[in-house]
């Protein structure tokens, strides 16, 4: 048997059924728009069909498709940063609440994080509810700010990679991350932690 022999999962006709939902979820949590997520997945399948002959099978079909989708998402984020209507003023802002140097740069300073975050969800139902609230809070962030946060926290890209890919300065990166974390904290305090405290008090 050839080392490049196909398996049932290699059949492009099965890609949508086997990987469509996974790819859609991957895209949706990053772009927070169902229509855009669907478009990106469709573009991924089309690109995969065109380049299928070059697929070396050193990885699984899903991993290969996810890699293509990741590039599509990155292209989408680049477009956001090049679009005049999405431009925002990236003044230096107040970074006093955040660590400015070292491996924890950009994180909240001890004692400066708003709210009590020690009481995290401790069962599956609460964890699912929390993730749903977190997803909503991410979706509420301006897309230009959310995109940087997601590349950092979801995809694990470092500062240099993100700045290079999006054409922003390191100063802009830290200001954007500051705004993203501040926005998420405020949203989660209202939508999750304040409600949890109210429920406990009842």
Q: In this predicted model, what pLDDT tens digit does every residue of 152-165 receive, in sequence order? A: 998 999 999 999 99
Q: What's the rounded mean pLDDT across residues 173-193?
A: 86
Is 2 contained in some domain?
no
Do 190 and 159 share a domain, yes or no?
A: yes
Please state which of the ranges 4-13, 54-63, 83-92 shows the lowest mean pLDDT.
Answer: 83-92
Between the alpha carbon of residue 153 and those of residues 29, 146, 177, 181, the distances in Å are: 12, 10, 10, 11
**Where residue 4 falls among pLDDT bands split at 50, 70, 90?**
very low
CB atoms < 10 A from the CB of 66, how many? 17
Do 99 and 81 share a domain, yes or no?
A: no
**Where residue 59 falls among pLDDT bands split at 50, 70, 90?**
confident
**Where residue 121 falls among pLDDT bands split at 50, 70, 90?**
low
Range of the domain at 78: 8-85
- Report the number of distinct structural domains present in the chain: 2
194 is written with which tokens?
A: 């304040």
Q: What's the rounded mean pLDDT across residues 129-158?
A: 88
SS3 readout for the chain = CCCCCCCHHHCHHHHHHHHHHHHHHHHHHHHCCHHHHHHHHHHHHHHHHHHHHHCCCCCCHHHHHHHHHHHHHHHHHHHHHHCHHHCCCCCCCCCCCECCCCCCCCCECCCCCCCCCCCCCCCHHHHHHHHHHHHHHHHHCCHHHHHHHHHHHCCCCCHHHHHHHHCCCHHHHHHHHHHHHHHHHHHHHHHHHHHHHHHHHC
Domain boundary among 51, 67, 85: 85
Prediction pTM value: 0.70
Q: In this predicted model, what pLDDT tens digit does every residue of 77-94 receive, in sequence order? A: 998 887 655 555 444 444
Give CA–CA dist 117/128, Å, rounded.
17
Please state which of the ranges 27-36, 133-142, 149-158 shows the lowest mean pLDDT.
Answer: 133-142
pLDDT in the model for residue 158: 93
The answer to whether 94 and 182 are in contact (CB under 8 A) is no
Domain of residue 140, CATH code: 1.10.10.10
Task: Express as a percent the part of the chain with pLDDT over 70.
Answer: 69
Domain of residue 42, CATH code: 1.10.1740.10
């Amino acid at each position: 048997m050839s080392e490049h022999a196909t398996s049932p999962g290699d059949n492009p006709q099965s890609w949508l059924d086997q990987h469509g939902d996974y790819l859609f979820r991957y895209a949706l949590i990053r772009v927070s728009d169902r229509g855009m997520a669907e478009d990106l997945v469709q573009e991924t399948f089309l690109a995969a069909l065109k380049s299928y002959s070059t697929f070396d099978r050193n990885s699984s079909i899903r991993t290969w498709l996810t890699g293509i989708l990741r590039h599509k998402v990155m292209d989408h984020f680049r477009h956001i940063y090049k679009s005049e209507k999405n431009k925002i003023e990236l003044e230096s802002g107040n970074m006093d609440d955040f660590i400015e140097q070292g491996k924890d740069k950009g994180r909240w300073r001890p004692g400066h994080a708003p709210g009590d975050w020690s009481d995290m969800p401790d069962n599956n139902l609460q964890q699912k509810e929390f993730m749903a609230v977190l997803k909503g809070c991410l979706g509420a962030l301006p897309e230009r700010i959310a995109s940087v946060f997601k590349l950092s926290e979801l995809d694990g890209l470092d500062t240099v990679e993100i700045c290079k890919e999006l054409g922003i300065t390191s100063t802009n990166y830290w200001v954007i991350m500051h705004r993203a974390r501040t926005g998420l904290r405020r949203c989660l305090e209202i939508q999750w932690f304040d409600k949890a405290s109210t429920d406990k008090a009842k």
